[in-house]
Amino acid sequence: MKALVKVAAGPGLELVDVPDPLAGPGDVVVRVLRTGICGTDLHIDSWDDWAARNVKAPLVLGHEFVGEVVEIGIAVTGVRVGDLVSGEGHLVCGTCRNCKAGRRHLCANTRGLGVHVDGAFAQYAVLPQENAWVHRDKVDLDVAAIFDPFGNAVHTALSFPVIGEDVLITGAGPIGIMAAAVAKHAGARNVVITDVSEHRLDIARKVGVDLALNVATATIADAQVELGMSEGFDVGMEMSGKPVAMQDMIANMSHGGRIAMLGLPAEEFAVDWSSVVLKMLHIKGIYGREMFETWYSMSVLLQRGLDLTPVITHKFGYRDHAQAFATAREGKCGKVVLDWTEA
C-alpha cells in the first residue's frame, strides 16, 4: 500500500510502498478515506527539536482520519466489517490507576498514533477496537476525518458550563474556531475569539461568533466595551500557546472565572498569580479528549445541527501531499484534508 512516511531522521516526507497492516486479536484494519493534517504532522515533517526528541523513524504519520473497516481481529466484538469509523489517536495502557478508573484520557503511558506507532497517512491503518469510533448516523467524510481535533475543541469548550456566559477564546486556529462554534451552539451569551490573522478571523465569523477581534489593532478590553460587558469574561479558552494571550485573558476574566487551557506554550512565561488568587480563577489544563464521553458529545452536536464545514477550507488528493502540507504550514487556511480514495 501507499503511505506517507518519515523514512529517516531529518526534514521531509516520502510517499512510498509499505506492507499492508495486519490485525492483532483485538485490532481493526481500516481502509482510509480521508485524513486531516495536524500541527503535530507539520512538526514531524520539518523535524524540529520536539520531533527529534519524540519520533523514531521510519514512521507512517497521521492521526486524524476516517475510514471503512475491512478486517477485524478474532477477539473484536464491538466493530464490524463495513463500519465507518474515526480513530481516537491516543493509545492508552489500560492498566494504570486512571485507566482502571475509567479516566483513560489521563493515562500517563499514552502513546500517539502517527507519533509513536504507525499512523493513518496510508491507504490502510490498524488500531485497537477500543480506539475506533463507529459512526451510527450519517456524517460528512471530511468532518469525520477531523473528529480528533474536533474532540479537543469539544473537551475544551464543555469543560465548564457556558450557557448564558460570556466566553473568550484566544487563538483562531481550527480548534479554537470549532470551540467557538460549540460554545455558541451550547448557549453562550457572547463568544469572542481573538487572533492576528484576518483570514482565520473571517472563518470564525462564518461559524457565528459574536466578535472576531484582531488583537494587532484592538484590545480585549475594547471587546468588552463593544459588547456592553462590565465585569469580564466568565469562561476563557486559551488555544494559542502565546504568553501574551494567557496574560491578557487573566486580566479580562471576571471574579470566579474559569479558564480551560489547551494551547501549549513553547517557553516558560510569567503569570500574574496575584490576579489568579484575588479573582479566585480556576485554570484547567486540557489534553486530548475524554474517552469516550467527548466522542458521544461530538456526535450529538453534529446530529443537532452544528456545522463545521466552514472550518475545512482545503482538500487535496494524497499524491499532492507536498502542496497540502505547504498550504497548512502557510496558515491561510482552516483544516486541510487529504483524500485517500484516488487510485
Catalytic site positions: 40, 43
SS3 of 187-246: CCCEEEEEECCHHHHHHHHHCCCCEEEECCCCCHHHHHHHHCCCCCEEEEEECCCCHHHH
Whether the CB-CB separation of 61 and 12 falls below 8 Å is answered with: no
3-state secondary structure of 100: helix
C-alpha cell at 295: 466522542
Among the listed residues 324, 329, 250, the one whose alpha carbon sits nearest the alpha carbon of residue 15: 324
96 is annotated as contributing to ligand binding: yes
What is the rounded distance in angstroms from the CA atom of residue 331 to the CA atom of residue 32? Answer: 25
Residue 333 counted as an annotated binding residue: no
Cα angle, residue 259 at apex, residues 153 and 221 outer, rounded to 5°? 105
> Which residue from 326, 329, 340, 11 is spatially nearest to 145, judged by alpha carbons?
340
Q: Are 193 and 166 in contact (CB under 8 A)?
A: no
Residue 104 DSSP symbol: G
The answer to whether 99 is a known ligand-binding residue is yes
93 known ligand binder: yes
Is 264 annotated in a binding site? The answer is yes
Backbone angles phi, psi at 64, to 5 degrees: -105, 115
Residue 30 CA: distances (Å) to CA of 105, 179, 274:
23, 28, 51
Annotated binding residue 200 = yes
Find where cell 480551560 sits: 260
112 labelled binding-site residue = no
Q: Which of 89, 124, 118 is nearest to 7 (CA)?
A: 118
Binding-site residues sit at: 38, 63-64, 93, 96, 99, 107, 175, 195, 200, 262-264, 286-287
Annotated binding site for NAD(+): 175, 195, 200, 262-264, 286-287
Instruction: Name the binding residues for Zn(2+).
Output: 38, 63-64, 93, 96, 99, 107
